[in-house]
Amino acid sequence: MSGDSSAKWVYDFSEGNKDQKDLLGGKGANLAEMTNLGLPVPPGFTITTDACRFYLEQGGTPPELDAQVTEHLVALEKAMGKSLGDPSDPLLVSVRSGAAASMPGMMETVLNVGLNDESVQGLAAQSGSERFAWDSYRRLIQMFGKTVLDIDGEHFDDALDAVKSEQGTELDLDLDAAHLQDVVGRFKAIVKEHTGTDFPQDPREQMDLAINAVFDSWNSDRAIIYRRRERIPSDAGTAVNVCSMVFGNLGMDSGTGVAFTRDPGSGEQGVYGDYLQNAQGEDVVAGIRNTVPLVDLKSIDEPAYDELMGIMSRLESHYRDLCDIEFTVERNKLWMLQTRVGKRTAGAAFRIATQLVDEGLIDMDEAVRRVSGDQLAQLMFPRFVSGGDATQLTQGMNASPGAAVGRAVFSSEEAVKWADRGEKVVLVRRETNPDDLSGMIAAEGVLTSRGGKTSHAAVVARGMGKTCVCGAEELQVDTKAKKFTAPDGSVVEEGDVISIDGSTGKVWLGEVPVEPSAVVRYFEGEIDPASDDTDDLVKSVHRILTHADDVRRLDVRTNADTPEDSARARRFGAQGIGLCRTEHMFLGSDRRKLVEKLILADGEDERQAALDALEPLQKQDFLEIFEEMDGLPVTVRLLDPPLHEFLPDLTELSVRVALAEERGEPDEGNLRLLAAVRGMHESNPMLGLRGVRLGLVVPGLFDMQVRAIAEAACERKQAGGDPRPEIMIPLVGAVQELEAIREGAERVLREVCQECGIDVAPLIGTMIEVPRAALTAGEIAAHADFFSFGTNDLTQMTWGFSRDDVEAAFFHQYLDKGIFGISPFEALDRDGVGRLVQIGVEAGRAARPDLKLGVCGEHGGDPESVHFFHEVGLDYVSCSPFRVPVARLEAGRAALAGS
């Protein structure tokens, strides 16, 4: 990106609209939209995300930016009748970040820009309050020092606490103008000490440095972590909003607050939010002082409250969604500082979507778009039940629902450290700040003693789907001593197990038992969605999922190897089995012995005897699964893993043989087994003798499995059933492999049909999991009735990753360095693995238009990957039973994505 004299880098609030988020950021676009609606928005302007990208790429601002900012600043000064930092009557501005995607608390804000040693006197004279002026100045130095000058915020906190301690108070409000002037002096000394220069007195220099600091904050550690988690593109950049200041800290007739048009925790309609008198916005979000409920504003300032209620209603109707609003009251005058579509819990998302349908604001297609598979998955987690030995300690605010149990830790660093060891933890803080993001991600839940439903902890936790209890004021949290004290005197130290309920706000010492969620009970058929007694959340899930089923093109199957999994998946809405792994049927001790006999067979007779013993067991497995999936397709994958997986571990067996020999009791069976294990040892077994290669090298193995499938299907048909088996040959890389195995399978099928007198004609296809198979899919399709993309192995082979090794060895470093934003085993790598899938689809269908196409890797249940599979034209996805509802919803959302 290069400078362009005609480029427009700055927009007045009156020039944009809500559809320009990519250019103006979410905050700037919505400020412009509210301005155009005629709502009371302080004048200002937005510096675009293009300017941020230029700054980050070129290491400096565009050459034209300074002049354009000056032009808009002059217009702002004219509109306000004041000049930036004027000594007698200063215009002050805020400099705020605002990316296209909401990133609450992840980037920087600086308020009261324009104050200096002279203009603070003018502000005092114009406002009639010296205290207010000095309070505003100390806030500027504190925010500027931390944000722009990169000084540790604790230095400022300690200085402020020292002044309060000297005055014998714990409250900022108890400090008068002289005390705050003392604080300003101490803050300026901190700046001088840590930077070697004085706090800048030039108002324009303050503003320019603050703008650059906002740009820099796009690449702060916490912003990078948040973007990776939320899958926000790293090159999107942030806009900067320069807005004339309005003050909520002018006295008790002023204040600041955050409001929601509906409860973001439950979706219920009503008055929700927090208000704090005589405060600026960061006081509410930081949770430093506890707020009052928004409804209390009615008794504090009824005209402002009534005007706010009218604006909230108008905004919700205009945006057709839950709105999150920030506002300030300055001497009884209401100002709107921000609105955005509000983050909400998973349950609230489903409830609100159907509420808006019933109110006529959106249709069911839009309701499906408004929720996600990740949110549905959250609703399927268990919840607490009464009982157990846990002791309730206190009750805070139910900030983000869920049931979290873990060991108490008191810093983000410890949360990450303990979680890396495999420990479940609950992060306990007085209040969280953006630097706590990594600990919040690592923890099962978050507990704070300060703050409300709009505090940093609450907002971020809701966005993550993380359980959170805020404002548990009765707890005395001592992070330095790594403990908290409950009202009854109980002391909880680091490592003690606690339980928190984000739905009720309750906190317990000890582990509280859990029960299945109501949504899972609905999927299990235990709850009737049509009953008047059924919770409205279940009804909302039912309505939305039913509509998703109506509009989706993709079928959803399941990966199941047992009758129990098959039955559950069918209850959850599966339309068949896309992957039945036969190797899982050989893992029982009795069957493992038979596999050992097959591997150790000395000659054809012994091998056939072992196969004959295995066949009836396999047949019974298939019979039970066909019964559960009657009338639906069942894709059976022939044996895939290396045979050594069914044998004892080489080291363990060697030790057993050595000890027996040492005792003078050699075991011929173990000696023979050890020789076989050594003979089958492979340096890289996942690329060795497995899949189709087993069928070609071990005579009769695949024939036995095909016979068991066919005989089970015949028996099921004789019983009046409707079995629909499909036979899948794994790890094919060359068409000749498929031809050879298919020829043998068709021979066995003819024999069984003749013996039973019943026609059984399963489809015969292959997994596409070797890159060569995708690249030669046209040839392979000529001999396959279907393809099923095995994206787990396809990902391993395309990247050259051994999954079991790399995820623990270096994936965290790859994520930290941004080499990929999410593990390619979690979400499909569209550019690499996805391209191979696309090649396979196009070549396969070109050779055989009626070729059935599906996917059976774990990506089949990943929401983002489901959209890709819809786009490339697969017929179905297959996933674990628990993910079936998620895939159903995402398949519907994928179908609606382009409409």
| Residues forming the active site | 456, 856
Contact 124, 238 (CB under 8 A): no
CA atoms within 13 A on the CB side of 323: 25
Q: How far is 899 from 893, CA to CA, in rounded Å?
A: 10
Residue for token pair 């909880």? 492
For the CA atoms of 276, 277, 282, 288, the dihedral, rounded to the nearest 10 degrees, stands at -70
Grouping H, G, I as helix, E, B as strand and the rest as coil, residue 854 is strand
- Biggest alpha carbon–alpha carbon distance for the chain: 105
Contacts of 6 (CB under 8 A, 6+ apart): none
Give, to the nearest 10 degrees, the angle between helix 563-571 and helix 604-628.
Answer: 30
**Of 145, 146, 85, whose CA–CA distance to 115 is shortest?**
85
Cα separations in angstroms, 87 against 42, 91, 178, 183? 21, 10, 20, 21
161: amino acid identity, one letter: D
Written in H, E and C, the secondary structure of 49-110 is HHHHHHHHHHCCCCCCHHHHHHHHHHHHHHHHCCEECCCCCEECEEEEEEECCCCCCCCCEE
- Give 54-58's long-range contacts (Cβ < 8 A, gap of 24+): 54/1, 54/3, 55/212, 55/215, 56/215, 56/218, 56/219, 56/237, 57/1, 58/1, 58/2
Contacts of 16 (CB under 8 A, 6+ apart): 23, 24, 28, 29, 31, 32, 33, 46
Grouping H, G, I as helix, E, B as strand and the rest as coil, residue 506 is strand
Q: How far is 855 from 301, CA to CA, in rounded Å?
A: 60
490: amino acid identity, one letter: S
Sign of CA dihedral 473, 479, 481, 482: positive
Contact 732, 698 (CB under 8 A): no
**Of 699, 725, 701, whose CA–CA distance to 711 is shortest?**
725
